[in-house]
């Protein structure tokens, strides 16, 4: 074999070796080029991963002795992983906000040693952080009422370095509403004499003489109502068609009201709220049995959205504005009742307000109606009031929401049905019925009132 042949065979072997060994190993986050990865035994970081320590030998099998930070398997690197914490709740108070979050999940040896809460008045930061230790909640104090704050949570390692950061939440601390009689709490200067609806009736004065035994503490019969209305809205509780208590919802639209001094029996209660524009919700009505000497809790009340429209008649092709208020960030489903029902979905804003601009080209000329309901955290409200409008040849602005009730509409839901019948039945031949119940104003409820109700019956 001559020298030229030997030279070409050598070149061929070299090229063959290069074509076998010089492959590229890739992933979504990095590319590793054969044959050598060099690291100086220090910590190397990127936005996608962190690599610690030294590499093991490139052989088949497993090497765990080379580093305490990862395991090396047949040429591939394993990286520690930490998921972001998630802020699960933020509750506004007087100059403070209470936060809680779900913990970070860790994999392949990663360790979260503590959490830090960052706050700012500018969405997106920069944030001022304070370490809260290995806790899953924190109350931020010394805040300014009426100012919106933005919060994030960082998961940190033992050295105090940020591993991963949560989502941002925004919330506004508010001053506590001034206590007033009927807000469901016995506080301030209220007592059993000045505010029996909150504090209970005062016991009769005790007689003289006798000794021992003490005075037995009477059992309290009360009901507590909890639910969701609109942010900072006033909520009214009705008992058998009469106003029994009022309270104010918080910035998160949550409300709670208690009613004491009750007797055991069956009652029909109603709850309604008034939004920031003065529009009332439909009355959420329910009948429950109250047990004597016990506290009955009614929770999960989700009031439907308030609703209004800007026109009662609109030219076809013009926009009809449908608006209202609900719980913050709730999903609002707007129903347009036409020959074919249309359903439009929009999110409520952080203050609960919502607005849908309806293109009337989607429906024919004639009369139509619209109503809405809300969904939040897998909870669905009942429907709002139904409002009617006409698609025609001119535009007529809507008057303020009609708030007076139909004759016989005891619970102000714009219907006369079995609920109103049950309220009327409660007052049958009872003394001093309220004016909304005594339909012919003769100071009593009898068959004449039921006849009047039947005339206005809507079902």
| 110 within domain boundaries | yes
Does residue 70 or residue 282 have the better pLDDT? 282
| CATH code for the domain in which residue 455 is found | 1.10.1330.10
Residues 73 and 129 in one domain: no
Instruction: Show which of 124, 156, 171 is a domain's final residue.
Output: 171
Residues 160 and 91 in one domain: yes
Residues 393 and 421 in one domain: no
Residues 66 and 143 in one domain: no
* Cis bond before residue 42 (omega within 30° of 0): no
- 217/252 Cα distance (integer angstroms): 37
pLDDT at 413 (0 to 100): 64
What distances in angstroms separate CA 438 from CA 87, 363, 408, 447, one per listed residue? 52, 43, 9, 11
| 69 within domain boundaries | yes
pLDDT at 203 (0 to 100): 66
Cβ pair 347, 330 in contact under 8 A: yes
pLDDT at 329 (0 to 100): 94
| 454 within domain boundaries | yes
- At 57-102, the pLDDT tens digits run 444 444 544 455 555 444 445 556 788 888 888 888 888 888 888 8
| 236 within domain boundaries | no
Residues 7 and 72 in one domain: yes
- At 359-373, the pLDDT tens digits run 999 999 999 999 999
Tokens standing for residue 214: 């003490």
Residues 439 and 390 in one domain: no
pLDDT at 115 (0 to 100): 92
- 337/377 Cα distance (integer angstroms): 26
| 325 within domain boundaries | yes
Rg (CA), the chain: 34
Instruction: Show which of 356, 381, 397 is a domain's final residue.
Output: 397
Instruction: Show which of 171, 204, 238 is a domain's final residue.
Output: 171
- Beta strand segments in 275-330, E: 284-290, 295-302, 308-309, 311-315, 319-325
Residues 350 and 427 in one domain: no
192: pLDDT confidence band, cut at 50, 70 and 90? confident
Cβ pair 253, 297 in contact under 8 A: no
φ, ψ of residue 426 to 5 degrees: the values are -60, -40
Least confident of 81-95, 111-125, 312-326, 408-422: 408-422
Into how many domains does the chain fold? 4
| CATH code for the domain in which residue 345 is found | 2.60.40.10
What lies within 8 Å, CB to CB, of 56 at 6+ separation is: 63, 64, 65, 66, 67, 72
Residues 348 and 408 in one domain: no
| 194 within domain boundaries | no
Cβ pair 231, 251 in contact under 8 A: yes
27: pLDDT confidence band, cut at 50, 70 and 90? low
> Which domain range does residue 68 map to?
3-79
Cβ pair 104, 87 in contact under 8 A: no
């Amino acid at each position: 074999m001559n020298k030229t042949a030997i030279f070409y065979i050598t070149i061929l072997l070299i090229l063959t070796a290069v074509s076998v060994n010089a492959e590229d190993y890739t992933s979504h986050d990095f590319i590793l080029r054969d044959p050598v990865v060099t690291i100086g035994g220090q910590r190397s970081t990127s936005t996608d991963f962190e690599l610690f320590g030294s590499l093991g030998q490139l052989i088949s099998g497993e090497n765990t002795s080379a580093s305490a930070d990862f395991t090396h398997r047949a040429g591939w690197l394993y990286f520690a992983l930490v998921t972001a914490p998630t802020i699960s709740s933020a509750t506004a108070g007087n100059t403070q906000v209470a936060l809680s979050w779900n913990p970070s999940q860790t994999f392949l040896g990663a360790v979260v040693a503590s959490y830090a809460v960052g706050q700012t008045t500018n969405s997106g930061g920069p944030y001022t952080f304070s370490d809260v230790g290995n806790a899953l909640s924190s109350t931020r104090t010394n805040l300014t009422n009426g100012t919106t704050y933005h919060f994030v949570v960082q998961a940190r390692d033992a050295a105090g370095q940020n591993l991963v950061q949560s989502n941002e939440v925004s919330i506004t601390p508010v001053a506590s509403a001034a206590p007033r009689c009927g807000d469901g709490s016995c506080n301030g200067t209220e007592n059993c004499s000045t505010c029996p609806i909150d504090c209970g009736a005062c016991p009769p004065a005790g007689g003289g003489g006798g000794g021992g035994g003490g005075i037995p503490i009477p059992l309290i019969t009360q009901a507590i109502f909890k639910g969701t209305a609109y942010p900072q809205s006033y909520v009214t509780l009705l008992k058998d068609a009469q106003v029994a208590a009022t309270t104010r919802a918080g910035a998160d639209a949550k409300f709670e009201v208690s009613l004491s001094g009750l007797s055991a029996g069956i009652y029909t209660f109603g709850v309604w709220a008034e939004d920031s524009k003065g529009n009332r919700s439909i009355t959420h009505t329910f009948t429950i049995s109250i047990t004597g000497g016990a506290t009955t809790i009614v929770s999960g009340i989700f009031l439907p959205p308030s609703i209004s429209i800007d026109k009662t008649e609109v030219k076809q092709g013009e926009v009809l504005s449908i608006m209202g208020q609900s719980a913050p960030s709730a999903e609002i489903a707007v129903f347009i009742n036409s020959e074919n029902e249309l359903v439009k979905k929009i999110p409520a804003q952080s203050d609960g307000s919502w607005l849908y601009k309806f293109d009337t080209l989607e429906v024919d000329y004639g009369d139509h109606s619209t109503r809405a309901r809300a969904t939040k955290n897998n909870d669905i409200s009942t429907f709002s009031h139904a409002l009617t409008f006409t698609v025609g040849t001119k535009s007529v602005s809507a008057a303020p929401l009609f708030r007076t009730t139909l004759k016989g509409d005891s619970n102000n839901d714009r219907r006369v049905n079995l609920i109103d019948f049950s309220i009327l039945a409660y007052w049958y031949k009872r003394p001093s019925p309220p004016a909304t119940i005594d339909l012919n104003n003769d100071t009593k409820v009898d068959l004449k009132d039921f006849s009047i109700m039947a005339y206005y019956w809507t079902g």
